[in-house]
Amino acid sequence: MQYERLSDFSGKGSYLLFSFPLYTKIKIDSSIETKNETEILGYNEEGVPDTLNHIYFLENKDFRFLKNMFMEEKNFFYYCPFCNKELPIIYKGQELKIEYQDPILTTYTFMYSMTEEYEDYEESASEDYAKRINEFNNHVLGDKRVLQMNLECTSKYKHKLYTIFQITDDNKLMKTGQYPSILDFDNSLKEYKKVLKDKNITKELTNAEILKTHNMGVGAFLYLRRIFEKLIFETFEQAKLENNIDELAFKIAKTETKVKMLFENGYVSRYLAEINTFVYGILSKGIHELSEDECNLHYDTLREAILLILEEKVEMEQKEKLKKATKKELNKIHTKLSE
């Protein structure tokens, strides 16, 4: 997903804290928002309402998100690397000065139509907003515009975690540090390790993630494509061992055809068969044609596709084990009843 401004992380605060790459700048929009509201005072003899119109000049959603993130108490249900499980992780927040609490900067009220006064209110609101942002930054972040958010898990050990943010001179938020590391917080590969015959696959997923955290998207794509290719060949080796595939035809076929051959013989899921052209094509284009930024933009989606393939691989192997176990038990019952 593309995060163009800070408020795009609304509802995804834990991702920003624990998984978002370091040194990636996030825009903090400083424009003013407005909200219109009409109040009916009554009705005249003709039944026409007398109205009072209000235009509220507000902090925009980026600044409101910033206040919420830095100041309000938080309770994230997330993976704790020390406990090796998901549980609530808390941030105690800070006291927010009363002058920062109300998002309304000023209100322009009129009866019938806007006048030149509107521009005066708009200018005054802009000045107050700039002053409010500056005072907030000085109060919360200090001269260096840096804040360390200290968190702890809710286990009996109360493990300490932290993330460091800085607001740059061009008014962008940047994560400059965290402990534990982004990789420590990633437990997405744990369930797949036991079913992957090629243990290098998990290492390469880790390498891809390391490159992504350093904004080296092209290199990350290269590792994802290698993983995709290894999953296909790992499955091919199983099919070859069971004499269920034409080895020569497979080796000379294009990747799209290879996956189709494996699917037709029941070795890969329908999902993989449906998306293999997209995934392999996008990864190849990323390596050869796309910029670092473009690869970084699409990385999460491609990685998720790889993880879904792994997840279905786990499900298929578990189903196969269940089939064999059930068949074995059925044979025992049949033998016993036949005596």
Is residue 199's pLDDT more than 80?
no
* Strand arrangement of the beta sheet that strand 85-91 belongs to: 25-27, 172-179, 160-167, 146-153, 85-91, 74-80
- Average pLDDT (318-334) is 87
CB 162 within 8 A of CB 151: yes
Q: Which residue has the tokens 């025992």?
A: 332
Please give the DSSP secondary-structure letter assigned to residue 168.
Answer: -
According to DSSP, the residues that pair with 37 across neighbouring strands are 54
Which tens digit of pLDDT belongs to each residue from 23-43? Answer: 888 999 989 999 999 988 888
Which tens digit of pLDDT belongs to each residue from 221-268? Answer: 999 999 888 888 888 888 888 888 888 888 888 888 888 888 888 887
287: pLDDT confidence band, cut at 50, 70 and 90? very high
Question: Percentage of residues in the chain with pLDDT exceeding 70?
Answer: 96
The reported pTM is 0.71
What average pLDDT does the structure give for the chain?
87
pLDDT reported for residue 2: 67
**Every domain of the chain and the residues it spans:** 1-187, 188-339
pLDDT reported for residue 44: 80
- Give the span between the Cα atoms of 142 and 135, in whole angstroms: 10
